[in-house]
Amino acid sequence: MHVLIVGGGVVGLACAHALVERGADVTVCEAGALGGGSTGRAAGGIRTQFSTRVNVDLSLSSIPVWESFADEFGVDIDYRRPGYLFLARTAETAAAFESNVAMQNDAGAPSRLLDPAEAREFVPELRAEEFVAATYSPADGIADPHSAVQGFAAAVRDAGGDVRANTPVAGLERDGDGWTVETPDETIEADAVVCAAGAWSRHVAALADIDLPIAPRRRQIAVVDPDGDLPDDAPLTIDLDTGSYFRPEREGTAIVGGHFDESDPDVDPDRFDESMDIEWAVEATERADACASYFGPETKIRNGWAGLYAVTPDHHAILDEVEPGFVVAAGFSGHGFQHAPATGEAVADLCLGEDACEVDISPLSLERFESGETLTEQNVA
């Protein structure tokens, strides 16, 4: 069976790897450089603390791959586990934390509910008086998305897969039981097509007359020199009620981020500002300081960047065979990197008619947007 994958980011390459491991012929077409879209601008978070079971399960199924990546793929992805710390300012958010932790524990994640004073064990300068509850999981961490792309791509090529950079897909047409795919270089026949194009997925699907509710949204990250001594092993800390987050980076720097624009307009993924807005960086730093006193007036903003989330209306991926032989693995709303290994296995199941993936992906069907059975992810940071 020949499967053509549109998109050479971490999701597309993880899908390619799962497919070649099961004996499929695979071609990956990436419009630019491998990992040059959203993957290359991702923060690299890997967490189990979600508010829906399907997201928790995708994380738990993916983590063993990240743990063994260096041994299996021969590439060090700098996988570290300082944990994630979520913070609640309101009783409503705290109540959600309690139910979320119960669900996460039932799934097998080791998250736990904390009071704000206990949270200071992980973030000593936390402004604990501002919060009413917290959750923490030692299973959560970070890794390098760029290195993961290189590892997956090399493994796919070593297994005989065809991975093509600078090869945009210009046409998709149903051809009997298969698909005809037009690229600038040639016409390719495939038994199945996987749309894993991230923020470009709606455009790709439209080539096949398929409408996907996926919107490209611009997100920013700033790198700063804190004026306080943020511990190197501090967790990625998220003030969920304000949307602010921070974590230590390298050599005493820190990453700060968050989304504060209520209008949240769609952007053209081919023409968006990839630089960081300094006004946004100032606000992100001030919000981080309102959470923990590491980011006072002496904090220096070094640099930063902007990338794209591929966002669905309910902030969950579409992982579904939406037409015969046309599989969508997109719309992860900022969670694509961490869920890529499990996504690859699920996509291989969909393409090959198998049942090897341990995650029930039925809640992620495209049909949910018509039936009204959408999901609610509270931890969207």
Architecture of domain 84-138+216-311: 2-Layer Sandwich (3.30)
CA 189 to chain centre: 30
Q: Where are the domains of the chain?
A: 2-70+144-214+314-371, 84-138+216-311
Tokens of 105: 């524990």
Compute how many other C-beta atoms are within 10 angstroms of the C-beta atom of residue 270.
10
The string of DSSP codes covering 299-320 is: -EEEEEEEEEEEE-TTS--EEE
Of 159, 181, 148, 179, nearest in space to 77 by CA = 148
Is-contact 192 228, C-beta < 8 A?
A: no
Compute how many other C-beta atoms are within 10 angstroms of the C-beta atom of residue 64.
11
Is-contact 17 127, C-beta < 8 A?
A: no
Task: Tell me the whole-structure pTM to 2 decimals.
Answer: 0.96
Tokens of 70: 């260096």
Q: How far apart are CA 56 and CA 79, in angstroms?
A: 19
* Superfamily (CATH) of domain 2-70+144-214+314-371: FAD/NAD(P)-binding domain (3.50.50.60)
pLDDT in tens, the chain (381 residues): 999 999 999 999 999 999 999 999 999 999 999 999 999 999 999 999 999 999 999 999 999 999 999 999 999 999 999 999 999 999 999 999 999 999 999 999 999 999 999 999 999 999 999 999 999 999 999 999 999 999 999 999 999 999 999 999 999 999 899 999 999 999 999 999 999 999 999 999 999 999 999 999 999 999 999 999 999 999 999 999 999 999 999 889 999 999 876 667 889 999 999 999 999 999 999 999 999 999 999 999 999 999 999 999 999 999 999 999 999 999 999 999 999 999 999 999 999 999 999 999 999 999 999 999 888 887 665
Of 208, 294, 274, 299, nearest in space to 6 by CA = 208
Most distant CA atoms of the chain, gap in Å: 65
Strand 84-88 versus strand 236-239 pairing type: parallel
Which residue is associated with the tokens 């959470």?
291
The string of DSSP codes covering 55-81 is: HHHHHHHHHHHHHTHHHHHS-----B-
